[in-house]
Amino acid sequence: MQKKVYFYATCLGTAAMQKMVLNSIKLLRAADVEVVFKKDQTCCGQPSYNTGYFNDTKKIALYNAEVFQGDLPIVIPSGSCGGMMSHDYLELFKDDVNYEKIKQFSSRVIELSQYLDAIGFKPVDKGEKIKVTWHSNCHALRVQKSIESNKKLLTSLSNVEVVYLEHEEECCGFGGTFSVKEPEISNAMAKAKVEDIIKSGASAVISADGGCLLNIAGTLSKLGYKDVKAYHLYDFLSARINGEKL
Amino acid sequence: MKNHSELINTKLADTQMRANLDSAMHALQDRRLALINSKFKQWEGLRQRAKNAKDNALFTLKDRVLEFEKNATKNGMKVHYASICEDACEIVYNLMIEKKISKVLKGKSMASEEIGLNHYLEKKGLIATETDLGELILQLGNETPVHIVVPAIHKNRYEIGELFAEKLGVEKESEPEKLNAIARVHLRNEFENLQMGLSGVNFAISSKGAIWLIENEGNGRMCTTSPDIHVAICGIEKIVESFNDAATTDTLLTPSATGQFIPAYNNIITGPRKEGELDGPKEVHIILFNNHRTNILSNKDYYEALRCIRCGACMNFCPVYDKIGGHSYDAVYPGPIGEVISPQLFGMKEHSDILSLCSLCGRCSEVCPVKIPLDSMIRKLRRDKIGEYEENAPLGASELEHSSLEKGGFSAFTKMATSATLWRTGLANASKFNWFVQSFGGHIPVLSRWAKYKDLPKLEGNLYKEISKLDGVSYE
């Protein structure tokens, strides 16, 4: 696989998880990959798409196809946004004149773990022993199908014990605009997820998706669970291979 | 229509219901998964075959309906057609009047719920009594089904024991066997003088003019065999072409619904009692009803919803459903499939509010035995709701009012997301989580709705500057 890529930071990454973006890029560099960061990149359009604004979303998708021209893989540290661009765009443009253009763009989108897996990246764990659990993002699990690669990276860390949640494949209640349109239901779902996490006995929950992570971390903190941390997979991975404390 | 948030908040606060549902739904999930893993070699292949069987019937629906009518008539059944709910109720009513019957006993039928039969008959002074245990519990408690397969699953055995004691004048019990026995004794009296029985239909086989009914309690068989008149209510999408098609789909149904390998009773009905036969009804009436199903069929985005075999797996696995329960949907059909069909069967004006009861997690589509892309349909219905529909808009979509505030918010968001300068300027102020506010500008106070239950992250740094300094990274 080509070892030069475009990096797609995602809107959440740019706005709220800047360390994760930097750590993801550093991981690619550690795997000896040349990275191109298009400064004009914005968002994949998932918020408008999921709320039903398909015409607005099409404009955003076409903008993305314009910014990321060429043949380079577009690596993205989020299975959710990845699923949007690699799969949902095709559905959105099914009967559209721009279908081929979008298809060319979509076919190049790959989630970071999937890319690292494909180039055979093997992280070396320099961290202390820790027991963690894992949250599977729904869109990553069922659309981008990147959870397997996420877990492969996580479980390859020699000093990390991974325990799985009883209801691992249950949504945490983020769902983009769902969490602001139905905050009460979203909170009930997030609380169920947090209870599951606490029950697992792990000292941290890891996820490879910004939205879920903000939701889970915010709920953990609001409920007063200060001993259980929530980390983005790429922040966690980065700390482990550099032997840093998180 | 009830107030959406009030309804949901009341249900969310019902801790007993939520505990009941949480344990019931997880048990159903585990049983289904265990069964698929232990008994099926090619579950996925079976799903594809069932999808093909249902699609085949839908693509040739007019022919299938006519073929069913021809063959069922040949078998001695009487086929009736109903366009809207009221037509179907009227057919049952007229039959009862004609035969001088004042009470009908019902096996479980969501179709009869859809047409509002009990209520219709009651208004005319006639009685429809439920014989399915779950439905009986609901009827005694004056409630509607909370689920399409297990209609009283939101109640635990203690609550049922209290209800029986109150309504049937029996001792308060909580053992399932004793509760069953109470219901049996009560229903036996009802069955004794039964003149007309009513049922739904799981599959109508067009090439044979037969109907197939599945059930677990035997009450359905009582309703369809012991009275002189049996009336079956059947949505036209229940038709499949052959017994093979029905058998394929049937094989998926109970495992998906309750995690049972097969139902306790498979009833295949090919007509009324024949010359020389000792039992069975003397008349069998089938009411084929439409209620906007042909509208759904004509829409490329939604026709697949008609493949639904009413197994309820989508609600069993829905993380929203088990928090709020079926009554929150304020519609006959709850859960993911309900979100898709209720607005289309009864009108977007009445039912499009439920389109927000979904986080688009996609689990419903993953478990649907006939591969209905439910989550993607819910998203498309949201598109129709805001007025961006293309052709054959769902019932009443054109009558909806739209939020110009939301539309304006997304249009501003799109403007930002398609302009590098606006985007970077906007994100320069991201440290107060402005991204979220700006994204849904029309929905302020979005931030407070988010922050009500969650702590906000702390933000720092200028990402663009940091990235441009990284070694081996082209910032262009």
Element (H, E) at B81: strand B78-82
Residues A49 and A84 in one domain: yes
Q: What is the pLDDT of residue B1?
A: 61
Rounded Cα distance, B295 and B346, in Å: 12
What is the pLDDT at residue B458?
67
**For residues B424, A113, A246 and A139, what is the CA-based torsion angle, rounded to 10 degrees?**
70
Task: For residue A92, list chain B residues with Cβ-Cβ distance below 8 A.
Answer: none
A184 touches chain B (CB under 8 A): yes
Tell me, yes or no, whether A111 and A22 share the same domain. yes
CA A126 centroid distance within chain:
23
Query: Does residue B187 have a pLDDT over 70?
Result: yes
pLDDT in tens, B127-141: 999 999 999 999 999
Smallest Cβ distance to B430: which of A16, A59, A188?
Answer: A16
**Interface contact flag, A190 B440, Cβ < 8 Å:** no
Indicate whether A137 and A182 sit together in one domain: yes
Query: Per DSSP, what are the bridge partners of residue B283?
Result: B229
CATH number at residue A200: 3.40.50.1860
Could you give the CA distance from residue A15 to residue B456 in angstroms, rounded to a whole number?
12
* Residues A135 and A100 placed together within one structural domain of the fold: no
Q: Rounded CA gap, B439 and B460, in Å? A: 19
Any CB–CB contact under 8 A between A85 and chain B? Answer: no
User: Which residue type sits at A111?
Assistant: E
Residue A125 lies in a domain: no
The torsion angle over the Cα atoms of residues B98, B102, B107 and B111, rounded to 10 degrees, is 60
Residue-wise pLDDT for B263-277, tens only, equals 999 999 999 999 999
B386: nearest CB among A14, A29, A52? A52
Q: What is the CA radius of gyration of chain B?
A: 26
Which of B389, B400, B410 should be substituted to probe chain A, the one whose Cβ sees the most A Cβ atoms within 10 Å? B410
Phi, psi dihedrals of residue B281, rounded to the nearest 5°: -70, 150
Indicate if the alpha-carbon torsion angle B14, B15, B21, B24 is positive or negative: negative
Residue finishing a domain among A62, A88, A118: A118
- Dist. CA B213–CA B407, nearest whole Å: 47
Same-domain check for residues A141 and A231: yes
CB of B290 closer than 8 Å to CB of B82: yes
- Model confidence at B2: pLDDT above 80: no
Q: Is A101 contained in some domain?
A: yes
Residue B444's pLDDT is: 46
pLDDT at B430: 60
- What contacts B143, CB < 8 A, 6 or more positions away? B152, B327
Pairwise CA distance, residues B123 & B89, whole Å? 11
* pLDDT for residue B442 is more than 60: no
pLDDT in tens, B318-377: 999 999 999 999 999 999 999 999 999 999 999 999 999 999 999 999 999 999 999 999
Same domain, A135 and A108: no
In this structure, is residue A97 part of a structural domain? Answer: yes
d(CA B66, CA B294): 15
Q: Give a yes or no: residue A79 inside a domain.
A: yes
Is the domain of A41 the same as that of A110? yes
Statement to judge: residues A238 and A169 lie in one domain: yes
Same domain, yes or no: A107 and A163:
no
Per-residue confidence (pLDDT) for residue B435, from 0 to 100 = 55
Residues of B in contact with A30 (CB under 8 A): none
Please check whether residue A85 lies inside any domain of the structure: yes
Name the residue among A12, A43, A50 with its Cβ closest to that of B360: A50
Query: How many Cβ atoms are within 10 Å of B319's Cβ, its own excluded?
Result: 25
| Spatial contact of B354 and B362, defined as CB atoms under 8 Å apart | no
Interval B385-423: pLDDT, tens: 999 998 889 999 999 999 888 898 899 889 999 999 988
Of the residues A83, A118, A153, which one is the last residue of a structural domain? Answer: A118
In a domain, residue A145? The reply is yes
Domain count, chain A: 2
Do residue A143 and residue A89 come from a single domain? no
Q: Which residue reads 């209609």 in tokens?
A: B151
- Shared-domain flag, residues A154 and A215: yes
C-alpha dihedral, B173 to B176 to B177 to B179, nearest 10°: 50
The neighbouring-strand residues paired with B127 are B103
* Confidence check: pLDDT of B438 > 60: no
pLDDT tens readout for residues A30-84: 999 999 999 999 999 999 999 999 999 999 999 999 999 999 999 999 999 999 9
Token match 């035997």: residue?
B218
Geometric angle at alpha carbon B407, from B402 and B410, rounded to 5° = 155
Shortest CA distance from A175: residue in chain B: B359
Determine contact: A49 vs chain B, CB below 8 A.
Answer: yes
What six digits make up the tokens of B128?
């429809």
Burial classification of residue B351, based on how many CB atoms lie within 10 Å of its CB (0-12 exposed, 13-18 middle, 19 or more buried): buried
Report residue B12 as tokens: 């969310």
Predicted model pTM: 0.96
What's the token pair of residue B456? 């906000």
pLDDT digits (tens, 9 = 90+) for B46-56: 999 999 999 99
Radius of gyration of chain A (CA): 18
Q: Are A209 and A80 in contact (CB under 8 A)?
A: yes
- State whether A163 and A114 are in the same domain: no
Give the whole-angstrom CA distance, residue A60 versus residue A50: 14
Is A124 domain-assigned? no
SS3 category, A234: helix
B439 vs A: CB within 8 A = yes
Q: Which of residues 128-157 of A touch B (CB under 8 A)?
A: 138-139, 141-143
CA atoms of B131 and B291, how far apart (whole Å): 25
Q: Is residue A229 in some structural domain?
A: yes
What is the pLDDT at residue B181? Answer: 94
Q: Which of A58, A93, A118 is the last residue of a domain?
A: A118
CA distance B145 to B110: 9
B464 has pLDDT over 60: yes
Domain that holds residue A198: 130-242
